[in-house]
Amino acid sequence: MRFIPFFIFITTFGVTLLGQQEEHPALSLAAPTGHLATPRLNLLADFPRLATTTTDPELIGWNWLEPADTLNKKRFRTTVGVGTAIYGTAAYALYITWYKDYEFSRFRTFNDAREWNQMDKMGHLLTTFSETRWLYDGARWTGLDKKRALWLAGGLGMFLQGTLEVMDGYSEKWGFSWSDIGFNTIGMAAFVSQEAIWDEQRIIFKLSGNRTDPPDLQVASSNGEGVASLVARSRELYGQSIPERLLKDYNTMTVWGSVNVRAFAPESRWPRWLNVAVGYGAGNLYGGFGNSWTDEAGLNYQLTTADFPRYRQLYLSFDIDLKRIPVRRRWLKSALSILNFLKFPAPALEWNTLGKVRFHPFYF
Give the phi and the psi of residue 90 in degrees, each rounded to 5: -65, -45
Q: pTM for this one? A: 0.82
99 within some domain: yes
The per-residue pLDDT for range 181-230, each reduced to its tens digit, is 999 999 999 999 999 999 999 999 999 998 888 898 999 999 988 999 99
β-strands 227-229, 292-294: how paired? unpaired
Given a cut of 70, the residues of the chain with pLDDT beneath it are: 1-61
Q: Are residues 163 and 265 in the same domain?
A: no
Is residue 45 in some structural domain? no
Query: Any residues with CB less than 8 A from the CB of 196 and at least 6 apart, and which?
Result: 150
Q: Are residues 190 and 330 in the same domain?
A: no
Query: Looking at 199, 221, 253, which one is the last position of a domain?
Result: 199
- Asked if residue 208 belongs to a domain, the reply is yes
Domain assignment present for residue 95? The answer is yes
Q: Is 224 found in the same domain as 184?
A: no
Q: Does 218 reside within a domain?
A: yes
**Using an 8 Å Cβ cutoff, are 349 and 359 in contact?**
yes
Single residue among 179, 199, 219 that ends a domain in this structure: 199
Separation of alpha carbons 58 and 38, rounded Å: 25
Residue where a domain stops, chosen among 199, 223, 258 = 199
Task: Assess whether 163 and 259 both reside in one domain.
Answer: no
Is residue 38 domain-resident?
A: no
Within a 13 Å sphere around the CA of 117, how many CA atoms are in the beta-carbon half?
A: 24
The predicted pLDDT at position 154 comes to 97
> Would 194 be classed as within a structural domain?
yes
Residue 83 identity: G
pLDDT of residue 39: 37
Identity of the residue numbered 164: L
Domain that holds residue 334: 202-364
Q: Residues 325, 180: one domain? A: no
φ, ψ of residue 114 in degrees (nearest 5): -100, 5
Tally of structural domains, the chain: 2
CA 197 to chain centre: 22
- Do 216 and 186 lie in one domain? The reply is no
Same domain, 273 and 189: no
Whether residue 217 sits in one domain with residue 185: no
Same domain, 90 and 220: no
**Continuous H helices in 23-118:** 57-61, 73-94
Cβ–Cβ under 8 Å, residues 252 and 212: yes
Same structural domain, 283 and 335? yes
Among residues 270, 151, 264, the alpha carbon closest in space to that of 202 is found at: 264
Instruction: Say if residue 244 is in the same domain as residue 363.
Output: yes
**92 and 129 assigned to the same domain:** yes
